[in-house]
Each structure stands twice: as C-alpha cells, then as structure tokens.
Amino acid sequence: MTTLADGTVLGASVGALMGGRIDGRADGWVLDPGVVWALTAGRRYFATRPRIPFLLVVGTVSGSSTNTARLSDGERAPLHAFDGKIDLSVGWTLGEAWSPYLAVRAFGGPIVWRVEGERMIGGDLYHVSVAAGFNLNVANRVSLYFDGAFVGMRSLGGGASVRF
C-alpha cells in the first residue's frame, strides 16, 4: 500500500484461493486451488476532529481464477470471476484506536465458466450490502478488524495485520 500526498491510499494484493465445491442441481464440481487478486483506491474524509464522523470511500477491482472438475466424470473446466465494488463507510475513531463503522456497498461483475466447450456467464445474486464493523489499532503496529454484512449479500470477515 502507498499513501499519496492528498491522502488517497492505493493498494494491491494477491492471494490463494484454497479450493472448494459447487453443488448444482444435476451435478457437483470441485474447485482446485487458484489465485485471487485486488486493486484498491480509497480516501478518508472529515476525520480531522473526534466529534465529526469520518467518511471512507473505497473502490476495488478484483478477480479470481481456478480450474474445476465435475464429480460425475472428471471433466475439467476453467472458472474466472471479476468484480467491481464501491464502498461508503461512516464511523468514528474513538480514543485514536477503535473505529466502528456502518457501510453501504454496491458491487457486481461476471463469472465466466466454460463447460463442455460452452461459455457460461453468471453473476451475483445480490449487488448491494449493508455492513457494520470495526478496526482496532493495537500499539500502533497491529490492527484487528471485523466486518459483518447483514442486508443483501451476507458475510462475516475478520483478520489482523502487522505493520513493519
């Protein structure tokens, strides 16, 4: 990640897709391990005084790629997913360490899967979500986060990061 002079934060990430399974009406598929990636730009506004909530605006473009295998006959097929997302979060930073927030997100992108030589294109069931979460700064080097989306696309996430 890097921070520009105007406060905009730019980030890039790459990681592992650990695999999984898709259960369809007629057949099931195993997802092989693959790759996920993301490019992000964000900026925080209005956070100059503790009495004023911050507004965090984040845009992300991401994707993943893997291969799949049909359970019934072993047919192999590539699977690629792409996504664009806009995230608007409002919250407060309390005690210079804890930042609870509410977020509204809009997102969407195609999933491209080629089965039996035919290209299939799909997408998300939901294109919006409402979430709540927090970031917690510990000793100015470790950050913990939790995020739960409870309207629209539902999810729970959490993690930790260490600044070197």
Residue pair 67/77 in contact (Cβ under 8 Å)? The answer is: yes
Q: Own/partner pairs for 34-39, CB < 8 Å, 24+ apart?
A: 34/64, 34/65, 34/66, 34/67, 34/79, 35/64, 35/65, 35/66, 36/62, 36/63, 36/64, 37/12, 37/13, 37/62, 37/63, 37/64, 38/11, 38/12, 38/13, 38/62, 38/63, 39/11, 39/12
Res 123: pLDDT: 85
**Tens digits of residue pLDDT in 84-143:** 999 999 999 888 889 999 999 999 999 999 888 889 898 888 899 999 999 999 987 899
- Cα 56 from Cα 22, distance rounded (Å): 35
Residue 117, amino acid: G
pLDDT at 148 over 70: yes
**Tens digits of residue pLDDT in 16-74:** 999 999 888 788 999 999 999 999 999 998 876 667 899 999 999 999 999 999 999 99
Could you confirm whether domain 2-162 is CATH 2.60.40? no
**How sure is the predictor about 12, in pLDDT bands with cuts at 50, 70 and 90?**
very high
Quote the DSSP letter at residue 26.
S
> Checking DSSP bridges between strand 142-152 and strand 76-91, what pairing results, if any?
unpaired
Res 50: pLDDT: 67
User: SS3 breakdown of the chain: % helix, strand, coil, rounded to 5?
Assistant: 0, 70, 30
Res 156: pLDDT: 94
User: Domain residue spans in the chain?
Assistant: 2-162
The pTM score is 0.79
Res 104: pLDDT: 97
The alpha-carbon radius of gyration of the chain (Å, integer) is 19
Res 68: pLDDT: 94
**Which has more confidence, 146 or 139?**
146
Both tokens assigned to 82: 């792409």
